[in-house]
Amino acid sequence: MGLLKEFKDFVMRGNVLDLAVAVVIGAAFTAIVSSLVEHIITPLLLAPALKAANLQDIDKLSWGAVKYGSFLSATIKFLIIAFILFLLVKFFKSLEKKKVPAATEPTTTEKLLTEIRDELKKRPA
């Protein structure tokens, strides 16, 4: 029974649950970015290049036996995801800066306690 309790404690720790949520959200986010690249960016931005190569799908781009279209698509997806994560991290860091309370002046009680502490330090032991 001890092993099951340890496993339950491990799974229920905050870090494991946070990681599980992040993985699920990441998978959903990947689907959104994939759709963005395949259905919006590729047709709008890469359409002229694809037409010049007589292709309709970026994944079919190749140079001899080298099929670089899939790599190009994956690279575009990675750059979009990295940029969006950069923006999210930057946004949350700006929120943290706003939460830092300004230094406040010590209260009368705190000043008095500080003076008492300093006087006690001066006394010989």
- Domain range list for the chain: 2-122
What's the rounded Cα separation, in Å, for the pair 102 and 90? 21
pTM above 0.85, yes or no: no
Which CATH number, 1.10.10, 1.10.760, 1.10.1200, 2.115.10, labels domain 2-122? 1.10.1200
Long-range contacts formed by 32-36: CB under 8 A, 24+ apart: 33/77, 33/80, 33/81, 33/84, 34/77, 36/80
Q: 67-123: per-residue pLDDT in tens?
A: 888 888 788 888 888 888 888 889 988 888 777 666 788 889 988 889 889 888 888
State in Å, rounded, how far the first CA of the chain is from the last one: 56
3-state secondary structure of 71: helix
Per-residue pLDDT for 27 more than 80? Answer: yes
Per-residue pLDDT for 51 more than 70? Answer: yes
